[in-house]
Amino acid sequence: MRLARLAIVLGFLAPAFVQADESFYLKDGDRVVFYGDSITDQRLYTTFTETYVVTRFPKLNVSFIHSGWGGDRVGGGGGGRIDLRLKRDVLAYKPTVMTVMLGMNDGGVAPFKQSSYDTFVKGYQHIVDTMKSQASGIRLTLIVPSPYDDVTRPSKFEGGYNAVLLRYGDAVKEIAQHEGATVADLNTYVVEATKKAFASDPANAQKLNPDRVHPAPGGQLLMAAALLKAWHAPAIVSEVHIDIKDGNVDSKSENTEVSQLQLKDGVVSWNQIDNALPLPIDMSDALIALAVRSSDVVETLDRQSLKVDGLKDGQYALKIDGKELEGHAFTNRELSEGVNLATLPTPMYRQAVLVHELTRRHNDLHSARWRQVQVPLQNKDYANLARALEALDMLESEIMREQRSTAQPKPHRFELVAKP
């Protein structure tokens, strides 16, 4: 059932030509399973990550399955013991890539206890051994546990619980080094950003992780950024550099195609079709904006640069497809230094927002199928169960096809017009 559905999706997504940064961790044909506890089960850092991949590499054939279960430890939890969880919720999808983030529950939100730590190390090694033995060639990304917030509120005991999680994280790093796995340190990056946020806006910084365990979307965006950095994700969406000199106009570009560039009656215009879309970061959300200001998320993952040299002094409106970016005018100096269009309300940004909505939709559907139908009824002999699961798989396939179709870049007409 599920494998048939994956074959349909991957068959649809198979591109005639794939352009991707060769250093990027994910490759054409990868099947990624995100595994973890309730923090993964929130489906936030995972969907940010998926949307980044789909928008940055719209022709790359990669699928994502989100298999987090609240309360899980290395031995399993509410969804069953660990071997059942791995068989049903990971191995069944034939993953080529698996991320593992556990530890928040294993430490007990209490001072360090050697016996709990030893259980964690043994159980974590069992997960790695099982996956390597039963999923030949799988690439593992082992994640240092995301932080318990000891930054914006006093620690509950000496040293604080995040220090305990960091010790568990050191064990994760040691296992990864021994097993040749990739490490993603979500803890350090989020803590550093939280400290900066707390220094500038203490009240909202606390809301980045409201219960100290489960980050809100702003905090989860930071987690996604840390994971993507561990995967060597490229910063550039596209770059365009236009040079005006002696009445002539020329351009250089990266990850985009510029055509019909001209300077006429003081208006610079050109056609542009990028190879990617920006990551849709909602800067109207106060907590996401705080997370962005307190980190380098945009600088390192979301640069859609427009640079124009040689403009006369003054302010310029940017029109895309005949519509001005309202509320956004640029001076000639700003344009010569380069402006980042990625977080502005461009048609490309709005298109990326639609992609992210479809990312969430297919993952919400998968979660409902898995948690409300498959698992509760797995020991029942209902005649229509298999058909119901297959129908839900097919529906998710349709949504994923729409997601990938929506992510394909479109050509746009750009104009820079001097304002009175």
Q: What is the 3-state secondary structure (H, E, C) of 132-149?
A: HHHCCCCEEEEEECCCCC
For the cut 70, the answer to whether the pLDDT of residue 150 exceeds it is yes
pLDDT in tens, 248-268: 999 999 999 999 999 999 899
The answer to whether residues 150 and 161 touch, using CB atoms and an 8 Å cutoff, is yes
Provide the pLDDT for residue 22: 66
**Using only C-alpha atoms, what is the Rg of the chain?**
23
Alpha carbon distance 417, 319 (integer Å): 8
Rounded percentage of the chain residues whose pLDDT exceeds 70 = 95
Compare 327 and 147 and report the one with higher pLDDT.
147
383-411 average pLDDT score: 97
Q: Are 173 and 128 contacting, i.e. CB atoms less than 8 angstroms apart? A: no
| C-alpha–C-alpha distance, residues 160 and 162, integer Å | 6
Long-range own/partner contacts, residues 395-402 (CB < 8 A, 24 or more apart) = 395/365, 396/5, 396/362, 396/365, 396/366, 396/369, 397/5, 397/8, 397/9, 397/12, 399/358, 399/361, 399/362, 399/365, 400/9, 400/12, 400/13, 400/63, 400/358, 400/362, 401/9, 401/12, 401/13, 402/358
| Percent of the chain whose predicted confidence (pLDDT) is above 90 | 93
Q: CA–CA distance from 77 to each of 71, 358, 364 (Å)?
A: 6, 30, 21
What pLDDT is attached to residue 20?
A: 47
Please report the pLDDT score of residue 15 as a whole number. Answer: 37
Q: What are phi and psi of 190, to 5 degrees?
A: -70, -40
What's the pLDDT score for residue 420? 85
pLDDT-based confidence at residue 234 (cuts at 50, 70, 90): very high
pLDDT digit string, tens, across residues 289-300? 999 999 999 999
pLDDT in tens, 189-208: 999 999 999 999 999 999 99
CATH of 2-234, one of 3.40.50.1110, 3.40.50.720, 3.40.50.920, 3.90.1300.10: 3.40.50.1110
> Is pLDDT larger for residue 410 or for residue 5?
410
Q: Do residues 100 and 142 lie in contact, with contact meaning Cβ atoms separated by under 8 Å?
A: yes
Is 216's pLDDT higher than 50? Answer: yes
Mean pLDDT, the chain, integer? 94
Question: Model confidence over 66-125: pLDDT tens digits?
Answer: 999 999 999 999 999 999 999 999 999 999 999 999 999 999 999 999 999 999 999 999
| Residue the block writes with tokens 């380098």 | 296
**Nearest 10 degrees: CA dihedral of 173, 174, 178, 181?**
-10
- Give 11's pLDDT tier (boundaries 50, 70, 90): very low
Q: In the structure, what pLDDT confidence band is assigned to residue 12 with cuts at 50, 70 and 90?
A: very low
State the pTM of this model.
0.93
Asked if 361 contacts 388 with a C-beta cutoff of 8 angstroms, the reply is no
pLDDT value at 6 more than 80: no
Alpha-carbon dihedral of residues 118, 120, 123, 125, nearest 10 degrees? -80
Note the pLDDT tens digit of each residue in 311-341.
Answer: 999 999 999 999 999 889 999 999 999 999 9
Please report the pLDDT score of residue 21 as a whole number. Answer: 55
Domain positions in the chain are 2-234
3-state secondary structure the chain: CHHHHHHHHHHHHCCCCCCCCCCCCCCCCCEEEEEECHHHHCCCHHHHHHHHHHHHCCCCCCEEEEEECCCCECCEECCEEHHHHHHHHCHHHCCCEEEEECCCCCCCCCCCCHHHHHHHHHHHHHHHHHHHHHCCCCEEEEEECCCCCCCCCCCCCCCCHHHHHHHHHHHHHHHHHHHCCEEEEHHHHHHHHHHHHHHHCHHHHHHCCCCCCCCCHHHHHHHHHHHHHHCCCCCEEEEEEEEEECCEEEEEEECEEEEEEEEECCEEEEEEEECCCCCCCCCCCHHHHHHHHCCCHHHHHCEEEEEEECCCCCEEEEEECCEEEEEEEEEHHHHHHCEECCCCCCHHHHHHHHHHHHHHHHHHHHHHHHHHHHCCCCCCCCCCHHHHHHHHHHHHHHHHHHHHHHCCCCCEEEEEEECC
Distance CA 139, CA 26 (A): 10
